[in-house]
Amino acid sequence: MWYFPRPKRYLFSLFTYVLLCHCSDALPSDVRPYTAAEVLDKRQWTSRGIQIIPGKCTGDQLTAMQNAILDASYLAGAGLNAAVKFTELPFRYFFKDDIATANTVAGVFRRIQGSQQGQGNLIGATCEDVYNECGTGESVQPAYSAQALNRAPIIVFCPTGLALARNPVPCTKNPGSISLGWLMLHEMTHIYNIAGPGLDVYDKTGETARDVNDALDDGIETTTDANSYAFLGSMAWDLGLGGPPWNQQKICLQNFPKGNFDMMGMDAVNAAARGG
């Protein structure tokens, strides 16, 4: 296996992440492997699901990371409920409205929920910028992920990502908000054991919900696009399709046309970092 950075040419370049290619059993001499301080190796896979790496998030950052993991599960639950009615909005805005697609999407959402509940292979979550990908100034990134053979994958939340707000109370804001849960759900779909067998989930479309829909209209397969899952989960939650604790059993599907279809992820993250 060898290390290479994913090129930053994806349309949704906000989320750049690092992979290890499973092509060889040897590392080239000019590339270092993961260290124990960075990720957990397979001998430490006694924990299950997504776990915050001990000591890598503290104080408010720890709280934000805990909320991100929990809220991603809430959004996944809302997206799962949307997938049940796959011929209706909001599902068919982001995915093909057929049973095979609905089953694929539902499987991803179920694995996200299961990971939060301690199921599935270990995923490490950290607030430490392991690969110096968080950036500064114009090149700031909110989060990225990394995965390698025989290593637990990790999700890194950067300061701008940690500054995001939690999911809003459903039916109180225009649906489709960018939130801690949105960001975590987005990153989790990149992880192979979350995406599921044979499905590589990348950043294939633009930065907005409308871009995902435009890609769908153009015949692009959106089940391989992380944005489609994140926006569906967010839309479904904001429309009241999620469960407790704070949805108040209220559903407001009539608000869908008022959605944040053109909200750009980077703008929302930067606004959150500024306190806006």
How many CB atoms neighbour CB 26 within 10 A?
8
Expressed in angstroms, the distance from the first to the final Cα of the chain is 43
Predicted local confidence at residue 61, as pLDDT: 97
Q: Is 68 left (phi over 0), alpha (psi -120 to 50) or beta?
A: alpha
Would you state the pLDDT for residue 46?
57
Rounded CA-CA distance 119/260 in Å is 33
Q: Write down the residue that tokens 């906000």 correspond to.
A: 14
> Taking the chain (276 residues) in consecutive chunks of 10 residues, what is each chunk's mean pLDDT?
28 34 27 45 66 94 96 96 96 98 98 95 94 84 85 92 91 91 96 91 81 94 95 95 70 94 73 58
The domain segmentation of the chain, as residue ranges, is 70-123+162-273
From 227, 230, 235, select the one nearest 174 (Cα to Cα). 235
pLDDT at 248: 62
Q: Give yes or no for a contact between 5 and 132, defined as CB atoms under 8 angstroms apart.
A: no
**Is residue 124 a contact partner of residue 36, using CB atoms and an 8 Å limit?**
no
The pLDDT value recorded for residue 30 is: 31
The type of residue at 15 is: F
201, 204, 208, 209: CA torsion to nearest 10: -60
pLDDT of 276 reads 55
Per-residue confidence (pLDDT) for residue 270, from 0 to 100: 63
Rounded distance between C-alpha atoms, residue 91 and residue 247, angstroms: 19
Task: Tell me the C-alpha to C-alpha distance, in Å, between residue 101 and each of 4, 71, 92, 95, 110.
Answer: 31, 24, 10, 7, 14
**Contact, 119 vs 110, CB < 8 A?**
no
Entry pTM: 0.83
pLDDT at 258: 95
Looking at residue 274, its pLDDT comes to 57
pLDDT attached to residue 44: 55
CATH class of the region 70-123+162-273: alpha beta
